[in-house]
Amino acid sequence: MRICLVSETWSPDINGVAHTLGRISRELLALGVTLQLVRPEPVDASAAKAEGMEHELSVRGMSMPRYKEVRIGWASVGTLKRLWQTTKPDAIYVATEGPLGWSALRAAEKLDIPVVSGWHTNFDHYCQDYGVPWLAPLVRQRLRHFHNRCAATLVPTHQQARELATAGFERVSVMARGIEGDRFTPDKRSQELRDSWGVGQHQPVALYVGRLAPEKNLDLLRDTFLDMLEARPDMRLVVVGDGPGRASLEKALPDAIFTGFIDSAQMQTHYASADIFVFPSLSETWGNVILEAMASGLAVVAYRHAAGAELISTDHDGVSIPPGDNQTFRQEAVALCQQQARYARLGRAARERALAYRWPTIAQTFLDAHEHARHARGQLSNPAEA
């Protein structure tokens, strides 16, 4: 089978979409699937081509305001039609609903190629975080129009599938995310790294990993960390990531360690060398970092939302709090950091829970959705054979 992946983000971009597509593409190639890729030209002109692609089309791109690493792709319908007329894919996966995604959808419709879309980002939720809540209904309407023109929309959680179906989205299916349990593992815990943080073997380390931006609920992260420090003055706070909210967070948490972006190998060691993972965001569709933290043996404090709802059973393999209950979130985090035996127990159970999510299974779900879309389109094109 030949599938074309269309996305406005790809490695070496650091985000959940790029990570998910990179892992799925490697699994698909191992299954013998032929892949094409359409994406914006990388910011770094020397960046290598994506591995294993039959064809790669880099289109004109533009950086988002305040996020130079986030690119929007621009491609004419004609450009995409010429690519797909030369080497026609059996199905197209559109990961992002920006200008590039819309062009891909229109070109595919003209060539009668089925499109499967992904729901990777809650753009309507971002309207609240960036001060334009009145735009949210219009964004949701536009997204519904886009996805309902596709053969299927893949979402990461059952909760998301139910919410979208209730909002009028059609043909919604669930495709979770996976973890590499041999890379994200407690075995990579490093006392040398903990020594560099100034903590001994029995001092707790609370970790956050993610973009430092308004949609990540940074005010609650700040308040939670301050409460935890008051309860456990010997605790160390580590923040991995970068973004427009970093400066204010550094000012509020002067004793915390801010690493900025780090590479994958360092990331694995940072997870394993912490004890508690604090993640207050409500903007995720999934939240790969929760699964990575759980696989690394950390006790996670998160809202009962996205991966936090799908993966965590409270006080069995983590702590999940009803969405929006900031006071309880802070209280639960404070209680946990004072209970070493408890956070160690939750971390061990979290590891077992995370290992149920394997990338080969996720990739097969992805492939099955595209096979089904191709088969359904073939029946529509040949009604006598249906």
> Minimum mean pLDDT among 70-74, 272-276, 341-345: which range?
70-74
Least Cα distance to 320 among 285, 356, 294 occurs for 294
Is the pLDDT at 148 greater than 50? The verdict is yes
pLDDT in tens, 4-24: 999 988 888 878 888 999 999
DSSP 241: B
The token pair that represents 122 in the structure block: 């809650």
Is the pLDDT at 134 greater than 50? The verdict is no
State the pLDDT at residue 138: 73
Q: What distance in Å separates the CA atoms of residue 147 and residue 115, rounded to the nearest whole number?
A: 9
pTM of structure:
0.85
Residue 135: pLDDT band (50, 70, 90) is: low
Is the pLDDT at 333 greater than 50? The verdict is yes
State the pLDDT at residue 96: 87
361 burial type by CB count under 10 A (0-12 exposed, 13-18 middle, 19+ buried) = middle
Amino acid at 259: T
For the chain, give percent helix, strand, coil, nearest 5: 45, 20, 35
pLDDT in tens, 240-284: 999 999 999 999 999 999 999 999 999 999 999 999 999 999 988
Helix locations, the chain, DSSP H: 16-30, 77-86, 99-111, 123-129, 136-147, 158-166, 191-197, 218-231, 246-252, 264-273, 288-295, 307-311, 326-337, 340-354, 359-381
Q: What distance in Å separates the CA atoms of residue 73 and residue 40, rounded to the nearest whole number?
A: 5
Mark residue 131 as left, alpha or beta (left: phi above 0; alpha: psi -120 to 50; beta: remaining): left
Is the pLDDT at 124 greater than 80? The verdict is no
Q: What distance in Å separates the CA atoms of residue 76 and residue 95, rounded to the nearest whole number?
A: 17
40 cis-preceded (ω within 30 degrees of 0) = no
Residue 382: pLDDT band (50, 70, 90) is: very low
Q: What distance in Å separates the CA atoms of residue 38 and residue 4, rounded to the nearest whole number?
A: 7
pLDDT in tens, 351-373: 999 999 999 999 999 999 999 99
Sorted by where each starts, the structural domains of the chain and their CATH numbers stand as 2-178+358-385 (3.40.50.2000), 186-354 (3.40.50.2000)
pLDDT (average), residues 326-335: 98
Mark residue 12 as left, alpha or beta (left: phi above 0; alpha: psi -120 to 50; beta: remaining): alpha
Share of the chain above pLDDT 90, in %: 75
What's the mean per-residue pLDDT of the chain?
90
Least Cα distance to 280 among 259, 306, 258 occurs for 306
Q: What distance in Å separates the CA atoms of residue 110 and residue 229, rounded to the nearest whole number?
A: 59
State the pLDDT at residue 66: 55
Helix H or strand E segment including 208: strand 205-209
